[in-house]
A and B are shown apart, each in its own frame.
Chain A
Amino acid sequence: SQQGEEDPQALSIQEGENATMNCSYKTSINNLQWYRQNSGRGLVHLILIRSNEREKHSGRLRVTLDTSKKSSSLLITASRAADTASYFCATALTQGGSEKLVFGKGTKLTVNP
């Protein structure tokens, strides 16, 4: 079963605008990661935020984590056509010693030139 739920499911914006995607999850986590997937390709890791962190930046990416609300957001600033892809949040769970990542269904982002 998938724990994370991204919102919105699809997002279409113009180049230069900011894109915000949200992720909610259900159980306690060790960390939360965001991945990008271009159509029909493998996943590329974007950023990891640990449960004791609240905000993290990497280039044009900004991730926030609110463990009290069990939610995270990914902000892409000054979007480019090349940012068009599906974005997934993945949670690393703490229970049961599991090593797996649990992915949401993703947000499909389209950046129009």
Chain B
Amino acid sequence: DTGVSQDPRHKITKRGQNVTFRCDPISEHNRLYWYRQTLGQGPEFLTYFQNEAQLEKSRLLSDRFSAERPKGSFSTLEIQRTEQGDSAMYLCASSPSRARTDTQYFGPGTRLTVL
């Protein structure tokens, strides 16, 4: 399977704990995106990488959120001191660099529940 993969698929944590999600993009896709989706809403953009460089961050990405893509391949999204409002589906997507804002290929998502 050469699609975008995310791990874990589900995460339940207690308020105040730190969590880390991983995304493996499609091989040779140099663009990687993180989105957050709450129930009944469409995905909302969080951040974007081109290779290892984080080029854009949403205002939704508070200081408790940090994302990395150290070698320009997989990416991690960490949430520190989780709050109940962080409960959502976290989606990762990747795209090739042929054209700006080309098709984005999404992973299955990580569903976070903060108790």
A residues touching B (Cβ–Cβ < 8 Å)? 2, 4, 30-31, 33, 35, 40-45, 48, 88, 90, 92-93, 98-106
Q: Which of B11-19, B63-71, B79-87, B102-110 contacts A (4 or more CB under 8 A)?
A: B102-110
Whether B109 pairs with A88 at a CB distance below 8 angstroms is no
Give the size range of B's interface with the partner: 20 to 34
Whether B101 pairs with A30 at a CB distance below 8 angstroms is yes
- B28 at the A interface (CB under 8 A): no
Whether B43 pairs with A43 at a CB distance below 8 angstroms is yes
Q: Please, how many angstroms separate the alpha-carbon atoms of A69 and B31 in the complex?
A: 31
Provide the B81-115 mask, 1 if CB < 8 A to any CB of A, else 0: 00000000101010000001111111111010000
A2-B44 contact given A42-B91, A92-B101, CB 8 Å threshold: yes
Chain A minimum-CB-distance residue to B47 = A100
**A–B Cβ pairs within 8 angstroms, 16 of them:** A35-B106, A40-B89, A42-B106, A42-B108, A44-B106, A92-B100, A98-B56, A99-B48, A99-B100, A100-B45, A100-B48, A101-B33, A101-B45, A101-B104, A104-B42, A106-B41
Nearest-Cβ distance from residue A96 to partner chain B, whole angstroms: 9
Provide the B1-38 mask, 1 if CB < 8 A to any CB of A, else 0: 00010000000000000000000000000010101000
A88-B104 contact given A42-B109, A43-B91, A99-B55, CB 8 Å threshold: no
Other-chain contact of A45, B50, B58, B89, B103 (Cβ < 8 Å): B103
